[in-house]
Amino acid sequence: MIVGSHHLPYNHPLIILSFPIHTLISSTFSCKPLTMATSSSLTLSHQTLLSHSKTHITTKSTASILVPTTSSKVNGVLLKSNSRRRRVGSLATIVRAAAVETLESTDTEQVVEKSINTIRFLAIDAVEKANSGHPGLPMGCAPMGHILYDEVMRYNPKNPYWFNRDRFVLSAGHGCMLQYALLHLAGYDSVLEEDLKTFRQWGSKIPGHPENFETPGVEVTTGPLGQGIANAVGLALAEKHLAARFNKPDAEIVDHYTYVILGDGCQMEGIAQEACSLAGHWGLGKLIALYDDNHISIDGDTAIAFTENVDLRFEALGWHVIWVKNGNTGYDGIRAAIKEAQAVKDKPTLIKVTTTIGFGSPNKSNSYSVHGSALGAKEVEATRQNLGWPYEPFHVPEEVKKHWSRHTPEGASLEASWNAKFAEYEKKYPAEAAEFKSIVTGELSAGWEKALPTYTPETPGDATRNLSQQCLNALAKVLPGLLGGSADLASSNMTLLKMFGDFQKDTPEERNVRFGVREHGMGAICNGIALHSPGFIPYCATFFVFTDYMRGAMRISALSEAGVIYVMTHDSIGLGEDGPTHQPIEHLASFRAMPNILMLRPADGNETAGAYKVAVEHRKTPSILALSRQKLPNLPGTSIEGVEKGGYTITDNSSSNKPDIILMGTGSELEIAAKAGDALRKEGKTVRVVSLVSWELFDKQPDEYKESVLPSSVTARVSIEAGSTFGWGKYIGAKGKAISIDKFGASAPAGTIYKEYGITVEAVIEAAKSVS
């Protein structure tokens, strides 16, 4: 039998002693021999070991250890007393120095166990008070959380936004009380004791899943499983990119890790596979993911639906894989695994940590019932008894407070040291430092917007996807934090930055990111990049219809205030022959319905430039640019300034704000509206043509401005857009008419489809006459 600290339950009333393998313990009272097989050190526990006055230490090598024989339970097994007395090895002089070191180690281990149980019970108590939440993960992952936040990670709790901090992502966001408890113990002002008591309540700073915009210290918003690990890939990409760009042989200013805890549910989600595949390809050596391998999901044991070999899968993805078989009490195993992971520089590491969900709960551990609901008063009390926890709810023992209190001065010291290092860097490398500060602070250089191209009606027409590439390449010269790429469609989305190479494992300083056919992972990775540093401006691209594959990540962009720029080309039936599988219909309406996201559909060069100006300026709001495949003319009256207002007049022959008819359009259909306006004017009508390039921006304008564009007295209104009619009613009113598409597209040349679907000048003229 092998006995070490990792074999003992937390409620065992023991003091822990650690000795090298060559040390023997013997005493004058009856002991039961236990054998240590192969480990180079061992840990023994029993209170009477220290209390007995005649304990001896010898230096003769042996694998046999004497343990007092008083009855006790170890892992639920009753160890009965043994009246026989055995002595192994010869006695020698007591090594007092070793004994003192052992006592100090004992004290530390006691605090560690008490700290881990503190984490467990803060989670249990908060969930119980709220009568809502997920206690199982925090109870099982408390050792991982403690070791990361207390022993491994570098951070400053009084400045959660210090640049060179290690990042932590709880991908299994339902277990958020784990992170809140850790932030509380570490000294973050965002999670005080009174906050713990408001978990999941109205106005609380600790909501039901981690939200970066609510709780300083939370890096990204997680909850939908798999998003967090994908965000973490983005965070690690950002670190590797900045390190490659700005570190010097004599000055390393970028050096931090990204740590993740993810669960079985994250592993099942496709987005995790997409992102982790890229992480392996890119060799993100400072990404360390701890996989909570507890084999339980909401429906029960994961054996009902998830039986693959995760280790082999991650090895195939190019990850270093470590398995910690005892994540419940095997603290040294977790420590050793993290240390090993840090030593691997050329690939990310997955540490599979096998745990028991709800560890410590006598009746609910290792079951789905502890996953997503409060334990209940009786089980809470039983768990307190089982883990030897005599404290009131939300109590943090004084020795635990004292132990964790060092993180405040240590964090301040870490940041001060880094600031001094950067000050020296700035003196030696002023140009690089200026670029770096722009990315870290989000402060853009004065006049950056002047780099955007402008166009006149005489400028040859072009597809807005091509005009988009002109804007991207112009902005890359003045925005150090602009980087991104496409889901294997760069040559079609037109997103390559021509002056840069590809971000790859061996060229991480470059700014073209090749995502492959991984739309969902791409969006979530860009969220991580955006949330790494305020001056990062990530963009990603695919066909507009394939936002269906990444909508989950786009929604998290909006929720978490991540200013990603989504470059979505092939925006309508205008893409032609590829047919209805590739032709978006309902997509414009669906994103207009999503909070905190800008849906922009520019009509020409000036509007495309305006869309980029808006997107760059809105760092806490993601933007979608819907761009055409087909060529469009540069229209009279369009402007960057107009786009900033969301809706504006491009042509108007009326006076006193009383046109006979108002025609509205977006994107490729604004040209149709403009031509119809010209034709109606020839018939003697006064016609105003309005570009509604962004409904969200227009709706935010003052009422006076909106009245100046769409006067309420004019009810003769017609809209035209090659998408769903949904939503147009608020602009055209009860008497207006919407020319749109409320069925799927078709496979044919674009011109044919437009004609067959009635998206024509003639249709607009007819509708205008019918409503006027």
Please give the positions annotated as active site. 519
Q: 484: which residues sit within 8 A by CB, 6+ positions away? A: 495, 511, 512, 513, 526, 538, 539, 540, 541, 565, 567
- Secondary structure of residue 495 in the 3-state scheme: coil
Yes or no: say if 465 and 569 are a contact pair by the CB < 8 Å rule.
yes
Q: Determine the angle formed by the axes of helices 177-186 and 136-146, rounding to 10 degrees.
A: 40
d(CA 313, CA 662): 59
d(CA 704, CA 116): 59
Closest to 569 measured CA to CA, from 465, 721, 463, 468: 465
Yes or no: say if 665 and 723 are a contact pair by the CB < 8 Å rule.
no
Paired with 329 in beta bridges are: none
Q: If residue 558 lies in a helix (H) or strand (E), which one and from where to where?
A: helix 551-559
Backbone angles phi, psi at 15, to 5 degrees: -110, 135
Yes or no: say if 157 and 195 are a contact pair by the CB < 8 Å rule.
no
d(CA 752, CA 376): 66
d(CA 612, CA 640): 9
- Secondary structure of residue 552 in the 3-state scheme: helix
**Could you say which DSSP state residue 100 is in?**
H
Buried b (16+ CB within 10 A) or exposed e, 455-478: beeeeebbbbbbbbbbbbbbbbeb
d(CA 292, CA 237): 23
Closest to 696 measured CA to CA, from 555, 596, 572, 580: 596
Total residue count of the chain as it appears in this document: 772
Q: 424: which residues sit within 8 A by CB, 6+ positions away? A: 251
Q: 443: which residues sit within 8 A by CB, 6+ positions away? A: 437, 535
What stretches of 365-511 adopt beta strand conformation (E)?
462-463, 482-486, 502-503
Q: Note the Cα 545 to chain centre separation in Å.
A: 24
Tokens 């002109």 sit on residue: 470
Backbone angles phi, psi at 248, to 5 degrees: -125, 160
Q: If residue 623 lies in a helix (H) or strand (E), which one and from where to where?
A: strand 623-626
**Could you say which DSSP state residue 474 is in?**
H
Q: Note the Cα 460 to chain centre separation in Å.
A: 42
**Could you say which DSSP state residue 718 is in?**
E
Closest to 356 measured CA to CA, from 293, 419, 422, 433: 293
Q: 530: which residues sit within 8 A by CB, 6+ positions away? A: 234, 536, 537, 538, 557, 562, 563, 564
d(CA 674, CA 635): 8
For residue 6, how many other CB atoms are within 10 A of its CB?
18
- What pairing do the DSSP bridges indicate for beta strands 482-486 and 537-543? parallel
